[in-house]
Amino acid sequence: MRIDIISVVPESLDSFINTSILARAQKKGLVEIHVHNLRDYTKDKHRRVDDYPYGGAAGMVIQCQPIFDCIEALKAERDYDEIIFTAPDGEKFDQPMANELSLKENIIILCGHYKGIDYRIRENIITKEVSIGDYVLTGGELAAACMTDAIVRIIPGVIGDEQSALSDSFQDNLLEPPVYTRPAEYNGWRVPDILLSGHDAKIAEWELEQSLARTKRLRPDLLK
Ligand code: SAH
């Protein structure tokens, strides 16, 4: 899989993309992540990509030209399954969307900034608009980072113990059961006896009960 992220502050994505699971996934050749500086595509001699909005509203808007040229340059190299724009008014990002996107070959994620981007790009070029929640961020970079992380960690082979990604919360619409590690007693707090019993079938039953109980208590909406 290949993910191309377009941003006006590409350096803000560097450390994120080059650490932990995302770094490992790229090293293993399971994903390619490329970050493009939108300013490299502007024809403005001061490398500006934004201008005042028509109608006199406050804030600045990213212009069509650099976005169009950047996306056209990428599309000339390969076909893209989705051209995603990060937008607070987009479709809410969730685990099923992450699963679906992780099966794609090539995707572009365009990060907005300032007041947003010229609406004509959204109408004519973008194939999917995605929000990571009902709050407004300064730019789409954190949204792109969240999406990239959630998408990449479920690509088969990225996480060593594949079972681990599939047993996470939201897969199967269930929250994860509680997890513990050594020591069995800390500060007088004991790990549930069942987990120390070595009885795999009973442990699996207990974990399912715990998942159901936690989901019912914390996220009853997922059970509907
Ligand atoms: N004026 C816009 C918000 C602009 S915020 C509005 O009212 O909708 C600047 C950019 O940050 C946006 O263009 C978008 O790309 C990104 N962004 C902000 N909040 C986001 C969210 N919740 N999810 C995804 N992207 C977001």
pLDDT in tens, 113-144: 999 999 999 999 999 999 999 999 999 999 99
Instruction: Please give the sequence-ordered ranges of beta strands (E in DSSP) within the chain, or none if there are none.
Output: 2-7, 32-37, 50-51, 61-62, 82-92, 106-110, 116-117, 128-131, 185-186, 189-190
Check if 88 has its Cβ closer than 6 Å to any atom of ligand 1. yes
Model confidence at 167, pLDDT cuts 50, 70, 90, reads confident
Task: Select the more confidently predicted residue: 172 or 186.
Answer: 186
pLDDT of 183 strictly over 90: yes
Q: Which of 29-33, 93-97, 164-168, 174-178 has the lowest mean pLDDT?
A: 164-168
Phi/psi for 69 (5° steps) reads -65, -40
Task: Calculate how far, in angstroms, residue 140's C-alpha sits from the geometric centre of ligand 1.
Answer: 6
Query: How are beta strands 189-190 and 185-186 bridged, if at all?
Result: antiparallel
Cα(191)–Cα(204) distance, rounded to whole angstroms? 16
How does the average pLDDT of the chain come out, rounded? 96
pTM for this prediction: 0.96
Task: Calculate how far, in angstroms, residue 24's C-alpha sits from the geometric centre of ligand 1.
Answer: 29
For ligand 1, atom 16, the nearest C-alpha belongs to: 140
The whole-number pLDDT of residue 166 equals 81
Q: Which of 56-65, 158-167, 204-213 has the lowest mean pLDDT?
A: 158-167
For ligand 1, atom 23, the nearest C-alpha belongs to: 131
Q: What is the pLDDT of residues 77-118, one digit of tens each?
A: 999 999 999 999 999 999 999 999 999 999 999 999 999 999
For ligand 1, atom 1, the nearest C-alpha belongs to: 115
pLDDT of 220 strictly over 90: yes
Q: What is the pLDDT of residues 38-51, one digit of tens each?
A: 999 999 999 999 99
Cα(100)–Cα(16) distance, rounded to whole angstroms? 22
Percent of all residues in the chain with a pLDDT value above 90, rounded to a whole number: 94
Cα–Cα–Cα angle for 159, 181, 184, nearest 5°?
165
Cα(175)–Cα(180) distance, rounded to whole angstroms? 15
Check if 143 has its Cβ closer than 6 Å to any atom of ligand 1. yes
The whole-number pLDDT of residue 162 equals 67
Cα(120)–Cα(222) distance, rounded to whole angstroms? 36
Q: What is the residue type of 115?
A: K
Residue to mutate, 136, 138, 146, ligand 1, most ligand atoms under 8 Å from C-beta: 136
